[in-house]
Amino acid sequence: MKKQFFSLAGIFFAGSLLAQIPATKVILNKGQKIVVQTTVSIETNMAPGMDATSNSTSENVLVVKEATDKNYTVSSSLTKLKLNMEMMGRSNSYDSEKKEDQDTEIGKGLGEKLNKTSDVIIDNNTGNAIVTKKPEPKKDVSEADPMQNMLQMFGDAGSDEAIVSGAFQIIPNGKKPGDSWADSSIEKDTKTIRTYTFRSNADTGAVIQQNTVVVAASTMEMMGMSMDMNTTTQSNSDILLDITTGQVKRKSTSSNVTGSLQIMGQDAPISAKATIVSIYKQ
């Protein structure tokens, strides 16, 4: 009887270990829906009189439209957005669920993005978005979305590709808690270096720490003015994921930016910090 008990215990223990083996690719089902709830808090210090703060909450709905052996096509649509911002002595607010906010200047710009579907192709083996060339956004819409301009300093955090690929994370084959790995990418005037550490693995999910450095040159539109920026962004993220599917449950990121801003022929130092928390619900 005792021998039978230990045999059964061994079977259950082995099954538990198998359940925690990292997936070698992202596992999704056609028609699967993921709701992404994100909160963003940003503080920027730029030229005198140009400091800005912003707090927002948003909801994106991701739907797996196609599934193949190599990739998934995942649609993303912004369904809710609430924003409060102070910039250059002016306060702006927007709530997509308030009818009276739809006819304001900022509401018209942000309303262009609501409930619009964008398809993103995800590489099954990495969880990364396969980026395709997109048309440049309309200038008037870009200028009416100051939140997106501020997010430029923190990489491409607000793009559909970033939102969709942020929902997935693959641990390289053979990695175990305590191990680290790195990757990098270069796109136009932006260089990104990412370092990952596999912190822990438990029934509630695996924890990955991600450290990211982004060196970028970009142009920001603000209050009708075009400003050139050179920035270095350092970010620390804690990622909780389902290790058996590669699907992220929660991601919390703290970022700090240093750099310079050129406006009207003058250079000025800039700094910024942001906290971004995303929760992914099935």
Domains of the chain, first to last? 19-281 (2.30.230)
From first to last of its 282 residues, what are the pLDDT tens digits of the chain?
A: 545 544 544 444 444 444 467 888 999 999 999 999 999 999 988 766 678 899 999 999 999 999 999 999 999 999 999 999 887 778 889 999 998 998 888 888 888 889 999 999 999 999 999 876 554 544 444 444 555 555 655 656 678 898 999 999 999 999 999 999 999 988 888 899 999 999 999 888 999 999 999 999 877 766 666 778 889 999 999 999 999 999 999 999 999 999 988 877 778 888 999 999 999 998
Backbone angles phi, psi at 159, to 5 degrees: -75, 160
- pLDDT of 132 reads 62
The DSSP secondary structure of 163-188, one letter per residue, reads HHHTTB--PPTT--TT-EEEEEEEET
- pLDDT of 239 reads 97
What CA dihedral angle connects 79, 132, 125 and 212, to 10 degrees? Answer: -80
User: 197 near 180, Cβ under 8 Å?
Assistant: yes
Q: What angle do CA 146, 277, 223 make, to 5 degrees?
A: 5
Long-range contacts formed by 29-34: CB under 8 A, 24+ apart: 29/64, 29/67, 30/64, 30/65, 30/66, 30/67, 31/63, 31/64, 32/63, 32/64, 32/282, 33/61, 33/62, 33/63, 33/64, 33/282, 34/61, 34/62, 34/63, 34/167, 34/247, 34/280, 34/281, 34/282
Backbone angles phi, psi at 53, to 5 degrees: -130, 150
Task: Characterize the bridge pairing of strands 190-202 and 180-187.
Answer: antiparallel
H or E element at residue 232: strand 225-242
- pLDDT of 263 reads 74
- pLDDT of 234 reads 96
Looking at this protein, which amino acid is placed at residue 127? Answer: G
Residue 260 has which token pair?
């310079």
What CA dihedral angle connects 224, 228, 231 and 236, to 10 degrees? Answer: 30
Say which residues have a Cβ less than 8 Å from residue 204's Cβ, sequence separation at least 6: 240
